[in-house]
Chains A and B, each alone.
Chain A
Protein backbone atom coordinates (compact mmCIF):
# COMPACT_ATOMS: atom_id res chain seq x y z
CA UNK A 1 0.00 0.00 0.00
CA UNK A 2 1.12 3.52 -0.75
CA UNK A 3 2.17 5.36 2.36
CA UNK A 4 0.61 8.78 2.69
CA UNK A 5 3.02 11.51 3.73
CA UNK A 6 4.17 14.91 2.67
CA UNK A 7 6.80 13.15 0.56
CA UNK A 8 4.28 11.05 -1.29
CA UNK A 9 2.25 14.19 -1.84
CA UNK A 10 5.21 16.00 -3.40
CA UNK A 11 6.22 12.99 -5.41
CA UNK A 12 2.74 12.59 -6.81
CA UNK A 13 2.48 16.29 -7.52
CA UNK A 14 5.33 15.95 -9.99
CA UNK A 15 3.61 13.09 -11.74
CA UNK A 16 0.49 15.18 -12.04
CA UNK A 17 -1.28 13.17 -9.32
CA UNK A 18 -1.83 10.40 -11.81
CA UNK A 19 -0.21 7.65 -9.75
CA UNK A 20 -2.34 7.58 -6.63
CA UNK A 21 -3.58 4.10 -5.78
CA UNK A 22 -7.16 3.17 -5.10
CA UNK A 23 -7.97 3.82 -1.46
CA UNK A 24 -9.99 0.62 -1.57
CA UNK A 25 -10.89 -1.83 -4.28
CA UNK A 26 -14.27 -2.73 -5.62
CA UNK A 27 -14.30 -6.56 -5.49
CA UNK A 28 -17.08 -8.93 -6.46
CA UNK A 29 -18.26 -10.92 -3.48
CA UNK A 30 -16.76 -14.36 -2.97
CA UNK A 31 -18.96 -17.35 -2.20
CA UNK A 32 -17.75 -17.64 1.35
CA UNK A 33 -15.90 -15.70 4.03
CA UNK A 34 -14.82 -16.47 7.57
CA UNK A 35 -16.67 -13.41 8.78
CA UNK A 36 -19.20 -11.17 7.10
CA UNK A 37 -19.81 -7.75 8.59
CA UNK A 38 -23.09 -6.22 7.53
CA UNK A 39 -22.88 -2.47 7.34
CA UNK A 40 -20.09 -0.37 5.84
CA UNK A 41 -20.38 2.45 8.29
CA UNK A 42 -17.73 3.52 10.76
CA UNK A 43 -18.37 0.66 13.15
CA UNK A 44 -18.47 -2.02 10.46
CA UNK A 45 -15.29 -0.78 8.80
CA UNK A 46 -13.53 -0.52 12.15
CA UNK A 47 -14.67 -4.01 13.11
CA UNK A 48 -13.24 -5.47 9.92
CA UNK A 49 -10.00 -3.57 10.45
CA UNK A 50 -9.57 -4.86 14.00
CA UNK A 51 -10.52 -8.41 12.98
CA UNK A 52 -7.64 -8.33 10.55
CA UNK A 53 -5.21 -6.39 12.68
CA UNK A 54 -5.82 -7.79 16.16
CA UNK A 55 -7.10 -11.27 15.38
CA UNK A 56 -5.49 -12.12 12.03
CA UNK A 57 -8.87 -12.82 10.51
CA UNK A 58 -8.51 -11.45 7.00
CA UNK A 59 -11.02 -13.45 5.06
CA UNK A 60 -13.66 -10.89 5.84
CA UNK A 61 -16.29 -9.10 3.79
CA UNK A 62 -18.05 -5.89 4.64
CA UNK A 63 -21.32 -5.66 2.78
CA UNK A 64 -22.92 -2.31 2.42
CA UNK A 65 -26.33 -1.46 0.98
CA UNK A 66 -25.22 1.92 -0.39
CA UNK A 67 -21.77 3.46 -0.27
CA UNK A 68 -19.40 3.14 2.67
CA UNK A 69 -19.59 5.87 5.24
CA UNK A 70 -23.02 6.90 4.01
CA UNK A 71 -24.81 6.35 7.28
CA UNK A 72 -24.28 8.04 10.57
CA UNK A 73 -20.49 8.19 10.32
CA UNK A 74 -21.07 10.64 7.49
CA UNK A 75 -23.91 12.58 9.08
CA UNK A 76 -23.01 13.36 12.66
CA UNK A 77 -21.60 16.35 14.49
CA UNK A 78 -18.15 14.75 14.91
CA UNK A 79 -17.96 14.98 18.69
CA UNK A 80 -15.66 12.63 20.57
CA UNK A 81 -15.80 12.36 24.35
CA UNK A 82 -15.83 9.96 27.28
CA UNK A 83 -17.64 12.11 29.83
CA UNK A 84 -19.95 9.37 31.06
CA UNK A 85 -21.22 8.65 34.54
CA UNK A 86 -21.80 4.91 34.39
CA UNK A 87 -18.62 2.87 34.64
CA UNK A 88 -19.44 0.68 31.66
CA UNK A 89 -19.91 3.67 29.39
CA UNK A 90 -16.98 5.58 30.82
CA UNK A 91 -14.37 2.85 30.64
CA UNK A 92 -15.48 1.77 27.17
CA UNK A 93 -15.33 5.33 25.86
CA UNK A 94 -12.03 6.10 27.50
CA UNK A 95 -10.54 3.03 25.87
CA UNK A 96 -11.82 4.54 22.65
CA UNK A 97 -10.22 7.91 23.42
CA UNK A 98 -6.88 6.19 23.43
CA UNK A 99 -7.57 4.70 20.02
CA UNK A 100 -8.65 8.11 18.74
CA UNK A 101 -5.42 9.72 19.85
CA UNK A 102 -3.41 7.25 17.77
CA UNK A 103 -5.82 6.88 14.89
CA UNK A 104 -4.19 9.10 12.25
CA UNK A 105 -0.88 7.31 12.69
CA UNK A 106 -2.44 3.84 13.01
CA UNK A 107 -4.42 4.30 9.84
CA UNK A 108 -1.89 6.45 7.99
CA UNK A 109 -4.82 8.70 7.23
CA UNK A 110 -5.25 12.07 8.88
CA UNK A 111 -8.61 11.89 10.64
CA UNK A 112 -7.90 15.28 12.21
CA UNK A 113 -8.72 14.24 15.75
CA UNK A 114 -8.68 17.49 17.58
CA UNK A 115 -8.88 17.46 21.38
CA UNK A 116 -10.41 20.87 21.81
CA UNK A 117 -12.40 20.02 24.93
CA UNK A 118 -16.08 19.78 25.60
CA UNK A 119 -17.94 21.97 28.07
CA UNK A 120 -21.38 21.04 29.39
CA UNK A 121 -22.92 24.24 30.68
CA UNK A 122 -24.87 24.21 33.93
CA UNK A 123 -27.64 26.66 34.70
CA UNK A 124 -28.39 25.97 38.34
CA UNK A 125 -26.62 24.72 41.44
CA UNK A 126 -28.64 21.53 41.20
CA UNK A 127 -27.26 20.98 37.71
CA UNK A 128 -23.75 21.75 38.92
CA UNK A 129 -24.26 18.95 41.44
CA UNK A 130 -25.47 16.54 38.79
CA UNK A 131 -22.43 17.38 36.71
CA UNK A 132 -20.20 17.00 39.75
CA UNK A 133 -21.57 13.51 40.23
CA UNK A 134 -20.63 12.68 36.66
CA UNK A 135 -17.32 14.53 36.73
CA UNK A 136 -16.22 12.89 39.99
CA UNK A 137 -17.17 9.55 38.59
CA UNK A 138 -15.06 10.27 35.52
CA UNK A 139 -12.09 11.28 37.64
CA UNK A 140 -12.36 8.16 39.78
CA UNK A 141 -12.35 6.23 36.51
CA UNK A 142 -9.17 7.96 35.44
CA UNK A 143 -10.81 10.29 32.93
CA UNK A 144 -10.03 13.99 32.87
CA UNK A 145 -12.76 16.32 34.06
CA UNK A 146 -12.80 19.85 35.43
CA UNK A 147 -15.65 21.66 37.11
CA UNK A 148 -15.67 25.27 35.95
CA UNK A 149 -17.35 28.15 37.72
CA UNK A 150 -19.12 30.95 35.89
CA UNK A 151 -16.00 33.09 35.57
CA UNK A 152 -13.91 30.22 34.30
CA UNK A 153 -16.54 29.48 31.68
CA UNK A 154 -16.64 33.14 30.71
CA UNK A 155 -12.90 33.14 30.16
CA UNK A 156 -13.12 30.23 27.75
CA UNK A 157 -16.30 31.16 25.89
CA UNK A 158 -16.95 34.87 26.39
CA UNK A 159 -19.49 34.83 23.56
CA UNK A 160 -21.91 32.75 25.62
CA UNK A 161 -24.72 34.71 27.21
CA UNK A 162 -23.41 36.31 30.40
CA UNK A 163 -25.78 39.25 30.12
CA UNK A 164 -28.71 40.20 32.32
CA UNK A 165 -31.20 39.44 29.58
CA UNK A 166 -30.92 35.70 29.91
CA UNK A 167 -33.51 33.12 30.82
CA UNK A 168 -31.14 30.51 32.22
CA UNK A 169 -27.94 32.13 33.46
CA UNK A 170 -24.73 30.14 33.28
CA UNK A 171 -23.62 28.87 36.69
CA UNK A 172 -20.62 26.96 35.43
CA UNK A 173 -19.88 23.80 33.59
CA UNK A 174 -18.22 20.45 33.40
CA UNK A 175 -15.31 20.24 31.01
CA UNK A 176 -13.50 17.28 29.59
CA UNK A 177 -10.40 18.89 28.11
CA UNK A 178 -9.32 15.79 26.21
CA UNK A 179 -12.62 15.49 24.34
CA UNK A 180 -12.84 16.90 20.85
CA UNK A 181 -13.80 16.38 17.26
CA UNK A 182 -12.53 14.53 14.19
CA UNK A 183 -13.15 14.65 10.47
CA UNK A 184 -15.95 12.12 10.23
CA UNK A 185 -15.64 10.98 6.62
CA UNK A 186 -11.91 10.45 7.04
CA UNK A 187 -12.57 7.95 9.83
CA UNK A 188 -14.63 5.77 7.52
CA UNK A 189 -12.20 6.13 4.64
CA UNK A 190 -9.15 5.57 6.80
CA UNK A 191 -10.50 2.34 8.24
CA UNK A 192 -11.70 1.22 4.79
CA UNK A 193 -8.30 1.80 3.22
CA UNK A 194 -6.40 -0.15 5.88
CA UNK A 195 -8.96 -2.95 6.07
CA UNK A 196 -8.82 -3.27 2.29
CA UNK A 197 -5.02 -3.42 2.35
CA UNK A 198 -5.19 -6.31 4.84
CA UNK A 199 -7.44 -8.32 2.57
CA UNK A 200 -10.91 -7.33 3.64
CA UNK A 201 -13.39 -7.18 0.77
CA UNK A 202 -15.43 -3.99 0.84
CA UNK A 203 -18.56 -4.71 -1.14
CA UNK A 204 -20.74 -1.70 -1.80
CA UNK A 205 -24.21 -1.56 -3.30
CA UNK A 206 -24.96 -4.94 -1.81
CA UNK A 207 -28.17 -5.17 0.13
CA UNK A 208 -29.10 -7.90 2.58
CA UNK A 209 -32.26 -9.70 1.54
CA UNK A 210 -32.31 -12.44 4.15
CA UNK A 211 -30.34 -14.77 6.36
CA UNK A 212 -29.58 -18.44 6.23
CA UNK A 213 -30.20 -19.77 9.72
CA UNK A 214 -30.65 -23.43 10.57
CA UNK A 215 -30.68 -25.32 13.85
CA UNK A 216 -29.95 -22.15 15.75
CA UNK A 217 -26.82 -21.43 13.73
CA UNK A 218 -26.08 -18.80 11.14
CA UNK A 219 -24.77 -20.12 7.83
CA UNK A 220 -24.78 -17.11 5.59
CA UNK A 221 -26.57 -14.15 4.20
CA UNK A 222 -28.63 -13.64 1.05
CA UNK A 223 -27.84 -10.41 -0.71
CA UNK A 224 -28.79 -8.49 -3.82
CA UNK A 225 -25.45 -9.70 -5.21
CA UNK A 226 -25.97 -13.35 -4.39
CA UNK A 227 -25.68 -15.65 -1.41
CA UNK A 228 -22.62 -15.36 0.78
CA UNK A 229 -21.71 -18.07 3.24
CA UNK A 230 -20.14 -17.34 6.60
CA UNK A 231 -20.14 -19.04 9.97
CA UNK A 232 -19.86 -15.70 11.69
CA UNK A 233 -21.88 -12.66 10.83
CA UNK A 234 -21.75 -9.31 12.58
CA UNK A 235 -24.65 -6.91 12.35
CA UNK A 236 -23.43 -3.34 12.42
CA UNK A 237 -26.25 -1.35 10.88
CA UNK A 238 -27.34 1.33 13.34
CA UNK A 239 -30.38 3.00 11.83
CA UNK A 240 -31.47 -0.15 10.03
CA UNK A 241 -31.12 -2.58 12.93
CA UNK A 242 -34.87 -3.07 13.30
CA UNK A 243 -35.22 -3.89 9.60
CA UNK A 244 -32.57 -6.63 9.69
CA UNK A 245 -33.76 -7.88 13.08
CA UNK A 246 -37.15 -8.53 11.54
CA UNK A 247 -35.55 -10.70 8.89
CA UNK A 248 -34.09 -12.71 11.77
CA UNK A 249 -37.40 -12.83 13.66
CA UNK A 250 -35.88 -10.82 16.45
CA UNK A 251 -37.52 -7.92 18.22
CA UNK A 252 -35.05 -5.64 19.93
CA UNK A 253 -35.21 -2.96 22.62
CA UNK A 254 -34.60 -0.36 19.95
CA UNK A 255 -36.63 2.26 18.17
CA UNK A 256 -35.54 4.03 15.03
CA UNK A 257 -35.59 7.81 15.22
CA UNK A 258 -34.49 10.85 13.30
CA UNK A 259 -31.92 13.36 14.52
CA UNK A 260 -31.27 16.54 12.61
CA UNK A 261 -28.17 18.67 12.57
CA UNK A 262 -27.10 21.76 10.70
CA UNK A 263 -24.11 23.92 9.91
CA UNK A 264 -23.81 27.65 9.52
CA UNK A 265 -21.87 29.38 6.80
CA UNK A 266 -18.14 29.28 7.46
CA UNK A 267 -16.75 32.14 9.52
CA UNK A 268 -13.33 32.89 10.94
CA UNK A 269 -12.52 30.93 14.12
CA UNK A 270 -14.52 32.17 17.08
CA UNK A 271 -15.29 29.02 19.07
CA UNK A 272 -12.54 26.63 20.09
CA UNK A 273 -14.48 24.08 22.11
CA UNK A 274 -17.45 21.84 21.86
CA UNK A 275 -20.15 23.38 24.05
CA UNK A 276 -23.48 21.97 25.17
CA UNK A 277 -26.42 23.88 26.59
CA UNK A 278 -27.67 22.71 29.97
CA UNK A 279 -31.21 24.06 29.89
CA UNK A 280 -32.26 22.03 26.90
CA UNK A 281 -30.54 20.13 24.15
CA UNK A 282 -28.14 21.99 21.97
CA UNK A 283 -24.52 21.42 21.13
CA UNK A 284 -22.11 23.30 18.97
CA UNK A 285 -18.56 23.27 17.73
CA UNK A 286 -16.73 25.04 14.95
CA UNK A 287 -15.19 22.89 12.24
CA UNK A 288 -11.74 23.43 10.79
CA UNK A 289 -13.54 24.86 7.78
CA UNK A 290 -15.17 27.50 9.93
CA UNK A 291 -18.71 26.20 9.93
CA UNK A 292 -20.63 26.11 13.19
CA UNK A 293 -21.79 22.53 13.57
CA UNK A 294 -24.99 22.34 15.60
CA UNK A 295 -27.44 19.74 16.79
CA UNK A 296 -29.90 18.93 19.53
CA UNK A 297 -33.16 17.11 19.92
CA UNK A 298 -34.63 14.18 18.04
CA UNK A 299 -37.58 14.99 15.82
CA UNK A 300 -39.43 12.83 18.30
CA UNK A 301 -41.21 10.10 16.36
CA UNK A 302 -40.18 6.85 14.75
CA UNK A 303 -38.62 7.65 11.40
CA UNK A 304 -36.46 6.28 8.65
CA UNK A 305 -36.57 9.49 6.65
CA UNK A 306 -33.23 11.21 6.46
CA UNK A 307 -35.16 14.47 6.39
CA UNK A 308 -36.66 16.32 9.29
CA UNK A 309 -38.96 19.24 9.80
CA UNK A 310 -38.24 22.82 10.68
CA UNK A 311 -40.02 23.09 14.07
CA UNK A 312 -37.43 20.79 15.62
CA UNK A 313 -34.56 22.78 14.19
CA UNK A 314 -36.25 26.00 15.27
CA UNK A 315 -36.49 24.61 18.78
CA UNK A 316 -32.86 23.51 18.75
CA UNK A 317 -31.61 26.83 17.37
CA UNK A 318 -33.71 28.71 19.93
CA UNK A 319 -31.64 27.03 22.58
CA UNK A 320 -28.55 27.84 20.55
CA UNK A 321 -29.31 31.54 20.63
CA UNK A 322 -30.23 31.30 24.31
CA UNK A 323 -26.74 29.98 24.90
CA UNK A 324 -24.80 32.08 22.38
CA UNK A 325 -26.83 35.05 21.16
CA UNK A 326 -24.37 35.92 18.41
CA UNK A 327 -25.51 32.87 16.44
CA UNK A 328 -28.61 34.87 15.53
CA UNK A 329 -26.63 36.76 12.93
CA UNK A 330 -25.15 33.72 11.27
CA UNK A 331 -26.91 31.91 8.48
CA UNK A 332 -27.87 28.27 8.42
CA UNK A 333 -26.20 26.74 5.38
CA UNK A 334 -26.99 23.04 5.39
CA UNK A 335 -29.26 20.74 7.34
CA UNK A 336 -29.40 17.00 7.34
CA UNK A 337 -30.87 14.11 9.23
CA UNK A 338 -29.49 10.86 10.53
CA UNK A 339 -31.35 7.73 11.55
CA UNK A 340 -30.70 6.69 15.12
CA UNK A 341 -30.94 3.35 16.84
CA UNK A 342 -32.50 4.56 20.08
CA UNK A 343 -32.03 1.87 22.68
CA UNK A 344 -34.34 1.71 25.67
CA UNK A 345 -31.78 2.88 28.21
CA UNK A 346 -29.75 5.14 25.95
CA UNK A 347 -26.72 2.84 25.86
CA UNK A 348 -25.59 0.49 23.10
CA UNK A 349 -25.64 -3.27 22.65
CA UNK A 350 -22.54 -5.24 21.61
CA UNK A 351 -23.24 -8.86 22.24
CA UNK A 352 -23.75 -12.38 20.99
CA UNK A 353 -27.28 -13.43 20.18
CA UNK A 354 -29.37 -16.54 20.66
CA UNK A 355 -28.33 -17.53 17.12
CA UNK A 356 -24.88 -19.11 17.12
CA UNK A 357 -22.45 -17.12 15.01
CA UNK A 358 -24.65 -14.03 14.85
CA UNK A 359 -23.34 -10.98 16.64
CA UNK A 360 -25.10 -7.74 17.34
CA UNK A 361 -23.73 -4.20 17.44
CA UNK A 362 -26.50 -1.61 17.69
CA UNK A 363 -28.42 0.85 19.83
CA UNK A 364 -25.91 3.68 19.63
CA UNK A 365 -28.47 6.45 20.07
CA UNK A 366 -26.69 9.75 19.45
CA UNK A 367 -23.32 8.43 20.53
CA UNK A 368 -22.17 6.23 17.69
CA UNK A 369 -19.49 8.33 16.08
CA UNK A 370 -17.26 8.75 19.10
CA UNK A 371 -17.57 5.04 19.82
CA UNK A 372 -16.33 4.00 16.36
CA UNK A 373 -12.88 2.67 17.31
CA UNK A 374 -13.86 1.12 20.66
CA UNK A 375 -16.95 -0.41 19.12
CA UNK A 376 -14.97 -1.89 16.25
CA UNK A 377 -12.29 -3.16 18.60
CA UNK A 378 -14.64 -4.84 21.07
CA UNK A 379 -16.98 -6.14 18.41
CA UNK A 380 -14.03 -7.68 16.56
CA UNK A 381 -12.98 -9.29 19.84
CA UNK A 382 -16.49 -10.58 20.51
CA UNK A 383 -16.71 -12.09 17.03
CA UNK A 384 -13.19 -13.51 16.92
CA UNK A 385 -13.28 -15.05 20.41
CA UNK A 386 -16.99 -15.77 20.48
CA UNK A 387 -17.20 -14.06 23.87
CA UNK A 388 -17.65 -10.52 25.04
CA UNK A 389 -14.68 -8.55 26.29
CA UNK A 390 -14.76 -6.91 29.74
CA UNK A 391 -15.12 -3.58 27.99
CA UNK A 392 -18.42 -4.49 26.36
CA UNK A 393 -19.73 -6.88 28.99
CA UNK A 394 -22.10 -4.19 30.22
CA UNK A 395 -23.53 -3.75 26.73
CA UNK A 396 -25.38 -7.02 26.89
CA UNK A 397 -28.71 -7.61 25.26
CA UNK A 398 -30.22 -9.23 28.31
CA UNK A 399 -29.60 -6.31 30.63
CA UNK A 400 -33.12 -5.18 29.86
CA UNK A 401 -34.32 -8.45 31.28
CA UNK A 402 -32.04 -8.42 34.32
CA UNK A 403 -32.40 -4.73 35.10
CA UNK A 404 -28.70 -3.92 34.85
CA UNK A 405 -29.55 -0.80 32.89
CA UNK A 406 -27.14 1.89 31.77
CA UNK A 407 -29.38 4.91 31.80
CA UNK A 408 -27.15 8.00 31.75
CA UNK A 409 -30.05 10.40 31.62
CA UNK A 410 -32.63 8.60 33.71
CA UNK A 411 -35.23 8.91 30.98
CA UNK A 412 -36.25 5.30 30.71
CA UNK A 413 -37.86 3.78 27.69
CA UNK A 414 -39.37 6.86 26.09
CA UNK A 415 -36.36 7.36 23.95
CA UNK A 416 -37.92 10.10 21.93
CA UNK A 417 -38.11 12.39 24.94
CA UNK A 418 -34.81 14.09 25.38
Chain B
Protein backbone atom coordinates (compact mmCIF):
# COMPACT_ATOMS: atom_id res chain seq x y z
CA UNK B 1 0.00 0.00 0.00
CA UNK B 2 1.44 3.36 -1.03
CA UNK B 3 0.68 6.80 0.31
CA UNK B 4 -1.85 8.98 -1.47
CA UNK B 5 0.86 11.64 -1.70
CA UNK B 6 2.75 9.63 -4.30
CA UNK B 7 -0.11 9.68 -6.77
CA UNK B 8 -1.54 12.35 -8.94
CA UNK B 9 -5.02 12.41 -10.38
CA UNK B 10 -5.68 12.33 -14.09
CA UNK B 11 -9.45 12.57 -14.47
CA UNK B 12 -12.18 10.47 -16.01
CA UNK B 13 -10.75 7.31 -17.57
CA UNK B 14 -13.74 6.68 -19.79
CA UNK B 15 -13.12 9.78 -21.88
CA UNK B 16 -11.54 8.64 -25.14
CA UNK B 17 -9.38 10.94 -27.19
CA UNK B 18 -10.71 11.17 -30.74
CA UNK B 19 -8.47 9.63 -33.33
CA UNK B 20 -5.91 11.96 -34.83
CA UNK B 21 -6.68 13.30 -38.24
CA UNK B 22 -10.34 12.35 -38.13
CA UNK B 23 -13.16 14.78 -38.85
CA UNK B 24 -15.09 15.43 -35.69
CA UNK B 25 -18.10 17.53 -34.76
CA UNK B 26 -17.91 20.45 -32.37
CA UNK B 27 -20.09 18.56 -29.94
CA UNK B 28 -17.87 15.49 -29.91
CA UNK B 29 -14.77 17.58 -29.51
CA UNK B 30 -16.30 19.52 -26.61
CA UNK B 31 -17.36 16.28 -25.03
CA UNK B 32 -13.76 15.15 -25.15
CA UNK B 33 -12.15 18.38 -23.95
CA UNK B 34 -14.70 19.77 -21.52
CA UNK B 35 -17.82 17.82 -20.73
CA UNK B 36 -17.74 15.33 -17.88
CA UNK B 37 -20.37 13.18 -16.25
CA UNK B 38 -18.58 13.26 -12.88
CA UNK B 39 -21.28 11.33 -11.09
CA UNK B 40 -21.74 10.20 -7.55
CA UNK B 41 -20.80 6.57 -7.04
CA UNK B 42 -18.51 4.31 -9.03
CA UNK B 43 -16.10 6.24 -11.21
CA UNK B 44 -13.35 4.98 -13.49
CA UNK B 45 -10.47 7.37 -13.36
CA UNK B 46 -6.81 7.77 -14.14
CA UNK B 47 -4.07 8.16 -11.62
CA UNK B 48 -0.34 8.40 -12.12
CA UNK B 49 2.20 7.04 -9.67
CA UNK B 50 4.04 10.29 -10.01
CA UNK B 51 6.53 9.97 -7.17
CA UNK B 52 7.14 6.34 -7.93
CA UNK B 53 7.11 4.17 -11.04
CA UNK B 54 5.45 6.89 -13.17
CA UNK B 55 2.87 4.47 -14.47
CA UNK B 56 -0.60 5.64 -15.27
CA UNK B 57 -3.27 3.31 -13.93
CA UNK B 58 -7.04 3.09 -14.09
CA UNK B 59 -8.95 2.91 -10.86
CA UNK B 60 -12.59 2.32 -10.17
CA UNK B 61 -13.40 4.34 -7.10
CA UNK B 62 -16.54 5.46 -5.34
CA UNK B 63 -16.76 9.24 -5.42
CA UNK B 64 -19.08 9.25 -2.43
CA UNK B 65 -17.09 7.02 -0.10
CA UNK B 66 -13.60 7.00 -1.70
CA UNK B 67 -13.69 3.21 -1.65
CA UNK B 68 -11.54 1.61 -4.36
CA UNK B 69 -12.98 -1.40 -6.15
CA UNK B 70 -10.73 -2.27 -9.07
CA UNK B 71 -7.48 -1.23 -10.66
CA UNK B 72 -6.27 -1.75 -14.21
CA UNK B 73 -2.98 -1.15 -15.94
CA UNK B 74 -2.86 1.71 -18.39
CA UNK B 75 -3.24 -0.53 -21.42
CA UNK B 76 -6.07 -2.64 -20.03
CA UNK B 77 -9.54 -1.80 -21.24
CA UNK B 78 -12.35 -1.02 -18.86
CA UNK B 79 -14.89 -3.77 -19.30
Contacts and interface: CB of A to CB of B under 8 A. Distances in A.
Contacts of A254: 36, 38
B37 A305 contact: no
A251 B31 CA distance: 8
B4 A311 contact: yes
A256 B11 CA distance: 11
Mostly, the B contact residues are: mixed
A400 B4 contact: no
A389 to B, nearest CB: 24
A25 interface: no
Interface size on B, as a range, is: 20 to 34
A242 B3 contact: no
A255 B38 contact: yes
B65 to A, nearest CB: 6
A195 B54 CA distance: 54
B73 interface: no
A401 interface: yes
A413 B34 contact: yes
A302 interface: yes
B40 A304 contact: yes
Given A304-B64, A311-B5, A416 B11 contact: yes
B33 interface: yes
Interface in A266-324: 300-305, 309, 311
Given A302-B63, A304-B63, A413 B40 contact: no
Contacts of B36: 242, 251-255
B43 interface: yes
A314 B44 CA distance: 27
A246 B30 contact: no
Interface string B9-35: 101100000000000001000110111
Contacts of A256: 38, 40, 63
A251 B35 contact: yes
B24 to A, nearest CB: 13
A311 B47 CA distance: 17
B21 to A, nearest CB: 22
A305 B66 contact: yes
Given A242-B39, A401-B30, A309 B4 contact: yes
Nearest to A250: B35
A300 B61 CA distance: 14
A143 to B, nearest CB: 29
A334 interface: no
A246 B39 contact: yes
A243 B9 CA distance: 21
B65 A305 contact: yes
A121 to B, nearest CB: 25
Contact of B38 (A242, A311, A400): A242
Interface string A382-418: 0000000000000000001100000000000110100
A301 B39 contact: no
Nearest to B59: A301
Contact of A246 (B5, B37, B61): B37
B68 to A, nearest CB: 11
Contacts of A218: none
A344 interface: yes
A404 B9 CA distance: 27
Given A251-B35, A400-B30, A401-B30, A301 B9 contact: yes
12 contacts: A242-B40, A251-B31, A251-B37, A253-B34, A254-B38, A300-B9, A302-B63, A305-B65, A309-B66, A401-B30, A416-B9, A416-B11
Closest 8 CB pairs of A and B: A253-B34, A251-B35, A242-B38, A304-B40, A255-B38, A301-B9, A400-B34, A344-B34
Interface of A: 242-243, 246, 251-256, 300-305, 309, 311, 344, 400-401, 413-414, 416
Interface of B: 3-5, 8-9, 11-12, 26, 30-31, 33-40, 43, 45, 47, 61, 63-66
Given A253-B35, A304-B40, 19 more contacts: A242-B39, A243-B39, A243-B40, A251-B37, A252-B36, A254-B36, A255-B36, A256-B40, A301-B9, A302-B45, A303-B63, A303-B64, A309-B66, A311-B3, A344-B33, A344-B34, A400-B33, A400-B34, A401-B26
